[in-house]
């Protein structure tokens, strides 16, 4: 069954606000600024509350990444049977969110920090980014693509392969270029629309292709 996915329901609104402050500290001050005392001051909460909600520093980092990943939405609703228009809209929302999150200061800071720590013994940030960030986004998006296939709108043998084609159409080498200092896209909505159009041409069923042609 489909479920609507937006901001993370794993945390309360107050916890989300604390995580937003922690992410801002990381962007503004780097790894050294990310202390329990600093987060407590910035978020106007006690260190005891931080430990209760998130545990140790690794737990806080994990929660920050989970919260950040939740900003990439897959708008799926319980009981909804996808049609061509709604599938298109859901894919565009996902693609636009993905571009905007990857291009944001927070994601760039997290990825640069992980790259800088990659040769350190015991560094966990890269693993956390994969497990709590990228793979959670992938899982939700593959669920949407599978729902499209069940509705007779998409055709593919391997959902993982189809999704990674979609991901490549959306992101290309943009994220790498931005990590190296290039500016991001001026119009993420246009890029998202182009990626979805190309994806549906590759994987859409005859029904989808016919309806798309009729709207041109």
pLDDT at 5: 45
Question: Token pair of 184, please?
Answer: 């991001």
Higher pLDDT, 81 or 67: 67
**pLDDT tens-digit readout, 161-192:** 999 999 999 998 888 888 888 777 778 999 99
Note the pTM of the prediction, 2 decimals: 0.85
More confident residue, 80 or 52: 52
76, pLDDT greater than 70: no
The answer to whether the CB of 103 falls within 8 A of the CB of 178 is yes
What pLDDT, on a 0 to 100 scale, did the predictor assign at position 212? 75
pLDDT of residue 213: 73
- On the question of pLDDT at 73 being above 70, the answer is yes
> Which residue stretches of the chain are H helix?
13-29, 36-43, 47-54, 57-69, 84-102, 105-117, 125-128, 135-150, 159-171, 174-179, 188-203, 206-215
pLDDT at 30: 77
Both tokens of 182, joined, read: 């290039």
Average pLDDT along the chain: 86
Fold for the domain defined by 75-214? Tetracycline Repressor; domain 2 (1.10.357)
Fold for 13-70, please state it. Answer: Arc Repressor Mutant, subunit A (1.10.10)
Q: What is the Cα–Cα distance from 59 to 47, expressed in whole angstroms?
A: 14
Confidence of residue 77 (pLDDT cuts 50, 70, 90): low
Contact 122, 128 (CB under 8 A): no
3-class DSSP string for 90-152: HHHHHHHHHHHHHCCHHHHHHHHHHHHHCCCCCCCHHHHHHHHHHHHHHHHHHHHHHHHHHCC
Domain locations along the chain: 13-70, 75-214
Looking up tokens 């909600």 gives 53
Q: Is the pLDDT score of 83 beyond 90?
A: yes
From first CA to last CA, the distance across the chain in angstroms is 32
């Amino acid at each position: 069954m489909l479920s609507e996915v937006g901001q993370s329901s794993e945390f309360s609104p107050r916890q989300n606000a604390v995580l937003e402050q922690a992410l801002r500290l990381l962007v503004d001050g780097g790894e050294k600024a990310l202390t329990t005392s600093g987060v407590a001051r910035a978020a106007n909460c006690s260190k005891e509350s931080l430990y209760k909600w998130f545990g140790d520093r690794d737990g806080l980092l994990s929660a920050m990444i989970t919260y950040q990943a939740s900003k990439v939405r897959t708008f799926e609703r319980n009981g909804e049977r996808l049609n061509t228009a709604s599938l298109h809209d859901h894919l565009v929302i996902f693609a636009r969110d993905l571009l905007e999150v990857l291009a944001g200061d927070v994601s760039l800071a997290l990825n640069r920090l992980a790259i800088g720590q990659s040769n350190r013994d015991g560094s966990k940030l890269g693993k956390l980014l994969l497990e709590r960030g990228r793979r959670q986004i992938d899982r939700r998006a593959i669920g949407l693509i599978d729902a499209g296939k069940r509705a007779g709108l998409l055709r593919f043998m391997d959902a993982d392969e189809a999704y990674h084609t979609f991901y490549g159409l959306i992101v290309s080498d943009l994220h790498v270029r931005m990590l190296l200092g290039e500016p991001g896209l001026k119009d993420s909505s246009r890029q998202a629309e182009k990626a979805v159009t190309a994806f549906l041409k590759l994987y859409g069923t005859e029904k989808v292709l016919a309806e798309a042609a009729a709207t041109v």
